Structure 1
């Protein structure tokens, strides 16, 4: 009887077109939209050399040190090219600036002057470069004035050289990618969409919610056994939907996941069970019709997805800093964080903490559903 009901419920769920749309097709559509919107987010911070013009006038010849430094940061053979520099007449420089072919130009008289036609990051970089050069020249002049003997060739090289005393140490083999968390959160939301199936299955065995529930209650088979087979069918379908979504995101969209397939499958399984049991929990606790339950589920799922950073990536860190308890009771955040910990961290500690909390939530949802369902009695059917 158990496997007969399992097969029956499996067919019913698969044939429910509306339910299959929300649990399978809708997350895939969102993933495509995310990919279109976030496809270049990882390369948005790539620096491009700034187009700069330098006016060659009578004062230009007296600034050989400056032009030498400028040539060093404009060398295309270097890995740290800052400027694409061209030396032109003043009229040509003004024309290039007017046509937006350069971000600004430099000309010399008694001082080094910068001309721009708008404010922005590139213009700020040009100004910072010139200001830094002026500060170093001023320092050298002051040293020469106060103690000429202190100046030698080595000191001059050290004064003109930028030295970085910070060492960058990677905490992971993977480089941070701001876009992956959006897709991980999407998978977390899709797992929670299994709650739709959970609500539908719990309504199907409650006599006061559906005619099918009334028939189940008068049947000789215990409704807990029927409910267990229904939950197994629901979990099977939802796990298939999550698998298809994961395969689509990783292979078609090229989103990076961990190479540890076993942990990824475990996250999908635990996330799916959490979503389904959350649906049964809402279905058994809320004493309203199915439409109201679905409305509550949609509202809570969207709220959890927002707090996990699905709509605004900084929200995840705001919640973690301001109200960390929300991060630990939010299933969407826990699922997304499990994927991210596999992707970014070398140790699985954070991953197992998230999975452990998800298991606890699933047990709580299942226990409440079981005890409430077992205690339900009806005066008449």
Structure 2
């Protein structure tokens, strides 16, 4: 039975022209346009120190000692008005507070600000660890060995300057584009739900509703079929961006593919949730879904990197619930850092969002079934 439903789902996915347009054709043309523009804008330049300001003097001393191949990573500036200096572009980041409670302010979400964020995060967590350990009197006499252990176990390496010189300065746009490609699978989520909706525009929905096949089996078969189609689609587009457009990526192929597949599942869950939560025509649901995933990519910095910086400063919680931002951060962590912890945190974030969307979809499905009684 599953094999039959799986084959049937694949046929429906291939024949669903509207879903295929938003999941395949639209991202393909967008990737081509972005690739042509960004490859011209991207210039290979030597890595230069990142201009920043630090409020706490002790923190300033720590950051001032960080080097790569004998070169300072951060250029510590001193302006009377840090906010004005940040707005004018004289500095790329301003760190308020101390090691225990730092607050990072940025204007644009770029490779440099991602480096600052990673270093500040690592110093912050190490400071909290030392504070907790020093609460025990027995640990105070072992401070040297504790700091050495923390240094070895909490290593947060920035890729060396030779690698950084080869990195694209417009990578945030490419990763936002990858996130958008993943989120295109949300239209398939709408198609799965509308296939069971008697009021949908699909001719097959009425035949399926009167068939003796349990709906849960139908959903499993359809989800597996659409997931296979969107996974192939995503991997083809990824290969096109990487090899045909010659865009730079980091991390192992397994990590990137795993991230793309996890993003597809989250996107399909989002599409199913939208289809179940709204009472509109099928075409309207497709339009809402497409608009939402484009808007999500916009918030992640695809069209304007300064917006991502504004959100990080003013509305940081959006970075953990906006699907495109979570996906972009996941790929950026592979691009900048040897440590895979940020990547794993992002994967867990994606799983949590997917779970919430699936549970929300189930609740709306139960509501709709009660309304039809």
Question: Is the 2:35–2:241 contact (alpha carbons within 8 Å) kept by the matching residues of 1?
Answer: no
1:203 to 189, 194, 202: 194
Question: Is the 2:184–2:267 contact (alpha carbons within 8 Å) kept by the matching residues of 1?
Answer: yes
| d(CA) in 2 for partners of 1:304, 1:18 | 20
TM (norm. structure 1) is 0.63
Question: Is the 2:296–2:322 contact (alpha carbons within 8 Å) kept by the matching residues of 1?
Answer: yes
Higher RCO (CA < 8 A, seq sep 6+): 2
Deviations 1:152-203 (A, max 9, x none): xxxxxxxxxxxxxxxxxx8224415322221111111111111111111101
CA shift for structure 1 position 314: 2.4
Name 1:172's counterpart in structure 2.
159
Name 1:63's counterpart in structure 2.
none
CA shift for structure 1 position 276: 0.7
Superposition pairs of residues 193-272 of structure 1, within 5 angstroms: 193-210=184-201, 211-272=203-264
Deviation larger for 364-373 or 272-281: 364-373
Tell me: CA distance 1:378–1:364, structure 2 relative to 1, closer, same or farther (3 Å): closer
1:307 to 269, 283, 299: 299
Question: Is the 1:328–1:357 contact (alpha carbons within 8 Å) kept by the matching residues of 2?
Answer: yes
Q: Residue 370 in 1 paired to residue 357 in 2?
A: no
Question: Is the 2:182–2:234 contact (alpha carbons within 8 Å) kept by the matching residues of 1?
Answer: yes
CA shift for structure 1 position 325: 0.8
| d(CA) in 2 for partners of 1:327, 1:311 | 16
| d(CA) in 2 for partners of 1:42, 1:224 | 49
Tell me: CA distance 1:44–1:264, structure 2 relative to 1, closer, same or farther (3 Å): closer
1:329 to 296, 321, 331: 321
Tell me: CA distance 1:379–1:214, structure 2 relative to 1, closer, same or farther (3 Å): farther
Question: Is the 1:207–1:213 contact (alpha carbons within 8 Å) kept by the matching residues of 2?
Answer: yes
Name 2:172's counterpart in structure 1.
181
Deviations 1:114-166 (A, max 9, x none): xxxxxxxxxxxxxxxxxxxxxxxxxxxxxxxxxxxxxxxxxxxxxxxxxxxxx
Name 2:5's counterpart in structure 1.
5
Question: Is the 2:175–2:328 contact (alpha carbons within 8 Å) kept by the matching residues of 1?
Answer: yes
Question: Is the 2:44–2:168 contact (alpha carbons within 8 Å) kept by the matching residues of 1?
Answer: no
Superposition pairs of residues 28-107 of structure 1, within 5 angstroms: 28-43=28-43
Superposition pairs of residues 112-131 of structure 1, within 5 angstroms: none
Superposition pairs of residues 277-356 of structure 1, within 5 angstroms: 277-356=269-348
Report how many residues are paired. 260
| d(CA) in 1 for partners of 2:42, 2:322 | 27
Larger Rg: 1
Question: Is the 2:168–2:248 contact (alpha carbons within 8 Å) kept by the matching residues of 1?
Answer: no
Aligned-CA RMSD value: 2.4
Q: Residue 273 in 1 paired to residue 260 in 2?
A: no
Deviations 1:22-57 (A, max 9, x none): 21222121111112211132328689xxxxxxxxxx
| d(CA) in 1 for partners of 2:371, 2:270 | 28
Q: Which runs of 5+ in 1 are unaligned?
A: 48-169
| d(CA) in 2 for partners of 1:46, 1:38 | 18
| d(CA) in 2 for partners of 1:200, 1:17 | 11
Q: Which runs of 5+ in 2 are unaligned?
A: 48-156
| d(CA) in 1 for partners of 2:208, 2:28 | 35
| d(CA) in 1 for partners of 2:23, 2:281 | 21
| d(CA) in 1 for partners of 2:277, 2:287 | 14
TM (norm. structure 2) is 0.65
Tell me: CA distance 1:206–1:30, structure 2 relative to 1, closer, same or farther (3 Å): same
CA shift for structure 1 position 380: 7.7
Tell me: CA distance 1:223–1:343, structure 2 relative to 1, closer, same or farther (3 Å): same
